Amino acid sequence: QVQLQESGPGLVPPSQTLSLTCTVSGGSINAGSYFWSWIRQPAGKEPEWIGRIDTFMRSTKNPSLASRVAISADTSKNQVFLKLSSVTAADTAVYFCAREEANLGSAFGLWGQGARVTVSS
Amino acid sequence: DIQMTQSPSSLSASVGDSVTITCRASQSISSFLSWSQQKPGKAPKLLIYSASFLQSGVPSRFSGGGSGTDFTLTISRLQPEDFGTYYCQQTYSTPYTFGQGTKLELK
């Protein structure tokens, strides 16, 4: 059974870079018709799609964040990475990784439990 | 970006009731619409994909409909575990976008 697990610092100072890792277990990130996405959700608000990476390691980003976002992956470690630079308090949120599945109409069929990140000094 | 608008924002209902949540897209998204349920402190859980297809393991009292710009999620015979927040999401084009959510509460 495939599982996703986010990890990274829970506290990031303003103007610094937020770095998170999504570790995929029980399956390969290279297998199947999948995209691996990062999604964040500020407290009490709807989720916001940050971007994704495909099995060819091509990334697509939300234009609202594109200048500050980098999404990459390490297939040997079965991990997907998110870096968000120049963070402010507005970047405080729970960050999720999720698997987008072509056979589900590109819906997100699998999510990690989420990593809470607070931007504060 | 495609804007997704859900209604109502909140809903109060009793066990055994049936409820319907609507979601409208700012432009046609064909059937690239999914519905998820979220409980406090948890990740969203996929219920319906491609507007009307039930995700594996989801009870049949959940059903979805619509295409183009107007969509519905209906929950029949509400159970205690159905209370939470429901989101629609479009995956027709990036950036993918979510509705603002509908909080379903116990009356």
Residue-wise pLDDT for B64-90, tens only, equals: 999 999 999 999 999 999 999 999 999
Tell me the pLDDT band of B107, cut-offs 50, 70 and 90: confident
pLDDT given at position A31: 82
CA distance A80 to chain B (A): 18
Partners of residue A98 in chain B, C-beta under 8 Å: 43
pLDDT, tens digit (0-9, with 9 covering 90-100), for A24-82: 999 999 887 899 999 999 999 999 999 999 989 999 999 999 999 999 999 999 999 99
What is the per-residue DSSP string for chain A? --EEEEE--SEE-TTS-EEEEEEEESS-TTSSSEEEEEEEE-TTS--EEEEEEETT--EEE-TTTTTTEEEEEETTTTEEEEEE-S--GGG-EEEEEEEEEGGGTTEEEEE---EEEEE--
pLDDT given at position B57: 97
Whether residue B22 lies within 8 A of chain A, CB to CB, comes out as no
Tell me the pLDDT band of A8, cut-offs 50, 70 and 90: very high
What is the per-residue DSSP string for A8-21? --SEE-TTS-EEEE
Whether residue B94 lies within 8 A of chain A, CB to CB, comes out as yes
CB-based contacts of A18, cutoff 8 Å, min separation 6: A8, A9, A12, A82, A83, A84, A85, A87, A91, A95, A117, A119
Whether residue B40 lies within 8 A of chain A, CB to CB, comes out as no
Q: What is the mean pLDDT of residues B42-59?
A: 98
Give ∠ CA B94-B100-B105 in degrees, rounded to 5. 140
Report in angstroms the alpha-carbon separations of B24 from A42, A88, A116, B27, B88: 23, 32, 30, 9, 9
Whether residue A16 lies within 8 A of chain B, CB to CB, comes out as no
pLDDT given at position A32: 76
- What does the radius of gyration of chain B's CA atoms come to, in whole angstroms? 13
Q: What is the mean pLDDT of residues B5-24?
A: 97
Q: Residue B32 CB: number of other CB atoms within 10 A?
A: 21
Specify the DSSP class assigned to residue B3. -
pLDDT, tens digit (0-9, with 9 covering 90-100), for A75-117: 999 999 999 999 999 999 999 999 999 999 999 999 999 999 9
Tell me the pLDDT band of B18, cut-offs 50, 70 and 90: very high
Partners of residue B34 in chain A, C-beta under 8 Å: 104-105, 107-108
Check pLDDT > 90 for residue A121.
yes
Partners of residue A46 in chain B, C-beta under 8 Å: 87, 98-101
Q: What is the mean pLDDT of residues B1-22?
A: 97
Whether residue B66 lies within 8 A of chain A, CB to CB, comes out as no
The neighbouring-strand residues paired with B66 are B71
Searching chain B, which residue's CA lies closest to the CA of residue A46? B100
Number of inter-chain CB pairs under 8 A, A vs B: 66
Partners of residue A38 in chain B, C-beta under 8 Å: none
Closest residue to B43, CB basis, from A37, A105, A112: A112
The neighbouring-strand residues paired with B37 are B45, B86
pLDDT given at position A120: 97
pLDDT given at position B24: 98
